Structure 1
Amino acid sequence: MSVASSPQTGSSSGFLTDRSLVALAVLNFFLADARDGLGPFLDAFLATNGWSSMALGAIATAGGLIGLVATPIFGELVDNSRWKRALIAGPVIFVTIAALVTLLSPNPAVVWFGQMGTALVGAIIGPALAGLTLGLVGERLFARQIARNEFWNHGGNFLSLFAVFLVVPAFGTGGMTWLMIATALGTLAAIVAIDPNRIDHDVARGLDKDAGSHAPSGIRVLLRERGLLLLAIILLIFHFGNAPMGRLIAQDFALELQTPFRTTAIITGVAQAAMIVVAALAPMLIRRFGLSVIFLVALSALPLRGLLAGSFSGFWVIYPVQFLDGVGAGLLGILTPVAVEHMLKGTGRFNLGLASVMTIQGVGASLSNVVAGWLVTKGGFALSHFVGGGIAFLAMIIFILFRRDIIVDDKASQT
């Protein structure tokens, strides 16, 4: 029987006794670190090895563009695949190997190949994880489970960053190597522990079985859904301003303090701690205020973040700045798949739709890296932060004007 119809998944005790859901929590915990390789440490590590902000921005942009091309293709693949666990395990193995090689030999050829490959295979993890989650718990519990996923994901990130803070000073880059291997093995073990027979693959793609052959094709369902396109544009604008800010803060203080791993661990750890709190509170906040209000709260965090980051240069500023990152990006990480699932309910194109939204928002994140790098060369880190925060007002205005197209049924969407 599909877990989507199992009553035990609706309670905390059911969650604790369901092996597949416990494994899903463990998967999110370890995947937080394993899916990105060096992740937030890459920029600070390379900056202290002589790489410029412009060069780092070019790598991030090129990798992002590769991911953009691959993501909708992989979304369609997830919709039609019954191998969702393998679609997560394969990329994790590649990303870990690429990160280890980069850490040992950070020359341009290795870095470029590793990051381009990581961007390509990493593009499948998001849609595959969302589809796996929907297939395990079903539509009714999807929003709550997404919040749980984010809680464990950010918890894993936070503890990983804390481990880096302790291990690297004691063991150097060798400590980073063993940490990456451990998180990859933990991810793979959790994937194996998920019972493949518990995954309803029709539910996982958001298919209304009564629609039968009348369910629209992938391209048609995306083109006809106005709210999906508006959501993607809003996220494009948000991530254009938000994506480079944490990277640039890490570069700035890593160069100033010459402690790339520890500095980045603190900077990223503050955001992850905030995201843990956000993920824990999100279901209650959505029930109390509705998706529209919480969406607006998430979007409003970025202008304030940019203002603070651009106005103050002391290390203390990373705490409120990164807390706001946890509020903005953390909430959107939960709200986006929930909104997409409600818009595409019954079409059988959930993973393709989510992948398409991720693709368009990725345009903003990718292009912003090279633009932000250029702004740093022209006016310093503060100029980039002001521009990034300022552009977020446009996303807020669009959402306010068209929120009824994006949030299909605010009451029904509450968890």
Structure 2
Amino acid sequence: MQSVPHTRLTGRSLVSLAFLNFFLADARDGLGPFLDGFLATHGWSPMTLGFIATLGGILGMVATPLFGAWVDSSRRKRMLIIVPVVLVNAAALWTLASPGNASVFGGQSATAIVGAVVGPALMGMTLGLVGERHFSRQVSRNEFWNHTGNVVSLAGVYFATLAFGLNGVIGLMIVTAVATVMAVIAIDPGKIDHDVARGLAHDDGAPGPSGYALLAGSKGLILLAVTLMIFHFGNAPISRLIAQDFSIQLGTPFRTTAITTGVSQISMIAMALAAPFLIRRFGLASIFLIALLALPIRGAIAGSFSSFAVIFPVQILDGVGAGLIGIATPIAAERILAGTGRFNVGLGAVMTVQGIGASLSNIVAGWLTNIGGYELAYWVHGGVALLAVLAFCAGKKSIAPAAKNDIGVAVDPAVITPR
């Protein structure tokens, strides 16, 4: 079956997609970055918080490729966003109301499992709405609205906490969850090409490979997954540790986390705006390299200085590293998997492998903090990124293949002119 070509990046559904990314920034993570600061001020140790994050990461890691396969086969992608948003926010409200073992471990486990479907569902729906040709640009737009939403949400939490305390945070969570559901409903399901959404321009009816078979048989996908696993092992715990460290020092978990996270989100907005130009001008491989090199510099700065002012360069570099990686990863996966019909399950498999690194890093970071303080954890996790740079350089042509023009011929990204 020939898929319907996508020729525009306008229309009600794409406006709704922008609103979805704006509100989803807060709605899909529940407490998100505030969890560590909130629990640290309630007596939870870095080691325990690291274990909670590791448990959630493992559960999400197992669920992600299964949900990726579900997204590939489902024609109800909107519901695969709505249901997790409702459940995640219910779990977050439970944790805020009663931060005991049952709510923290149970709520965060549920959040990790159901939240794992949102990423593949959003990427699949985006690809189905705009098509392969416009996917790179739309991923950058999604990230722009996502990080903009995060900044607005963080500012809202900061001022709501000042005015209303914990009740202000609860109110904002409910508002963003409702707004997210409304934005999803406003997307016209008839505009989603479900064949294109799974990376299949021509459907011959033959079954495609499973996500794990696809991962095992693709050199580019394997190297991408390994590179991301190492990067996220180094990067994942640093913002959490920053939030814990200064929340305890200052005694204001929500306001402190709002500031530290807000700085990185503003940096990510800048990266989302710059990414389309950078990819066209320098190619996808250069974007990966810039992102990977930002992490060791970030770790060195965090490990060398202890004043609150250090959060500004550290979190700006988080925006550069994590922000560009977040944009480059689905673009690289789409290029590697183009024509297989298994974009979402393949991307889910990559996210599973990167999740191994992120999950293990949290408990290792907690252990390092216990034996040598926050500074030791910053240095070790920042230094790990150098291994990611080596892994990427070993196979950058496979990890970040050249873009293709409209007839499927590889072209040099440096010579593509803006449309």
TM-score range, shorter chain: over 0.9
For 2:42, the aligned partner's letter is N
CA deviation string 1:131-163 (max 9, x = no partner): 000000000000000000000000000000011
Contact 2:3 2:202 in 1 (8 A): no
User: For residues 193 and 344 of structure 2, what CA distance do their matches in structure 1 show?
Assistant: 14
For 1:306, the aligned partner's letter is G
Percent identity, aligned pairs only, is: 61
Q: Residue 162 of structure 2 aligns with which residue?
A: 169
Contact 2:6 2:129 in 1 (8 A): no
Instruction: Give the structure-1-normalised TM-score.
Output: 0.96
Q: Residue 106 of structure 1 aligns with which residue?
A: 99
CA deviation string 1:73-121 (max 9, x = no partner): 0000000000100000000000011101111111111111000000000
Matches within 5 A, 1:245-394: 245-394=238-387
Shift, 1:208, TM fit: 3.5
Contact 2:63 2:116 in 1 (8 A): yes
Shift, 1:213, TM fit: 1.6
Q: Residue 195 of structure 2 aligns with which residue?
A: 202
User: For residues 412 and 157 of structure 2, what CA distance do their matches in structure 1 show?
Assistant: 42
Unpaired segments of 5 or more residues in structure 1?
Answer: 10-14
Instruction: Give the structure-2-normalised TM-score.
Output: 0.95
For 1:5, the aligned partner's letter is P
Pick closer, same or farther for the CA change 1:375–1:19 going to 2, 3 Å. Answer: same
Contact 2:58 2:356 in 1 (8 A): yes
Contact 1:3 1:138 in 2 (8 A): no
Q: Residue 408 of structure 2 aligns with which residue?
A: none
Contact 1:3 1:198 in 2 (8 A): no
Number of corresponding residues: 407
Matched, 1:151 2:164: no
Matched, 1:71 2:64: yes
Q: Residue 25 of structure 2 aligns with which residue?
A: 32
Contact 1:130 1:351 in 2 (8 A): yes
Q: Residue 115 of structure 1 aligns with which residue?
A: 108
- Residue 230 (structure 1) aligned to one of 218, 223, 230: 223
Unpaired segments of 5 or more residues in structure 2?
Answer: 404-410
For 1:8, the aligned partner's letter is R
For 2:63, the aligned partner's letter is A
Shift, 1:7, TM fit: 2.6
For 2:146, the aligned partner's letter is N
Contact 2:140 2:272 in 1 (8 A): yes
Shift, 1:169, TM fit: 1.2
Q: Residue 139 of structure 1 aligns with which residue?
A: 132
Q: Residue 8 of structure 1 aligns with which residue?
A: 8
Shift, 1:214, TM fit: 6.8
User: For residues 172 and 84 of structure 1, what CA distance do their matches in structure 2 show?
Assistant: 36
Matched, 1:94 2:87: yes
Pick closer, same or farther for the CA change 1:351–1:214 going to 2, 3 Å. Answer: closer
Pick closer, same or farther for the CA change 1:6–1:203 going to 2, 3 Å. Answer: closer
User: For residues 322 and 180 of structure 1, what CA distance do their matches in structure 2 show?
Assistant: 24
Q: Residue 123 of structure 2 aligns with which residue?
A: 130
Pick closer, same or farther for the CA change 1:205–1:92 going to 2, 3 Å. Answer: same
Q: Secondary structure at the match of 1:50?
A: coil
Contact 2:198 2:344 in 1 (8 A): yes
Contact 1:4 1:135 in 2 (8 A): no
For 1:310, the aligned partner's letter is G
Contact 1:41 1:260 in 2 (8 A): yes
Q: Secondary structure at the match of 1:233?
A: helix
User: For residues 211 and 293 of structure 1, what CA distance do their matches in structure 2 show?
Assistant: 36
User: For residues 219 and 371 of structure 1, what CA distance do their matches in structure 2 show?
Assistant: 27
Contact 1:164 1:265 in 2 (8 A): yes
Q: Residue 12 of structure 1 aligns with which residue?
A: none
- Residue 173 (structure 2) aligned to one of 170, 180, 198: 180
CA deviation string 1:288-315 (max 9, x = no partner): 1111111100100000000000000011
User: For residues 351 and 269 of structure 1, what CA distance do their matches in structure 2 show?
Assistant: 30
For 1:121, the aligned partner's letter is V
Contact 2:227 2:391 in 1 (8 A): yes
RMSD: 1.4
User: For residues 3 and 283 of structure 1, what CA distance do their matches in structure 2 show?
Assistant: 25
User: For residues 87 and 306 of structure 2, what CA distance do their matches in structure 1 show?
Assistant: 38
Contact 2:210 2:345 in 1 (8 A): no
Contact 1:302 1:392 in 2 (8 A): yes
User: For residues 153 and 279 of structure 1, what CA distance do their matches in structure 2 show?
Assistant: 10
For 1:361, the aligned partner's letter is Q
User: For residues 317 and 146 of structure 2, what CA distance do their matches in structure 1 show?
Assistant: 18
Contact 1:4 1:137 in 2 (8 A): no
For 2:382, the aligned partner's letter is G
Pick closer, same or farther for the CA change 1:317–1:3 going to 2, 3 Å. Answer: farther
Shift, 1:215, TM fit: 4.3
Contact 1:3 1:199 in 2 (8 A): no
Q: Secondary structure at the match of 2:55?
A: helix
Q: Residue 50 of structure 1 aligns with which residue?
A: 43
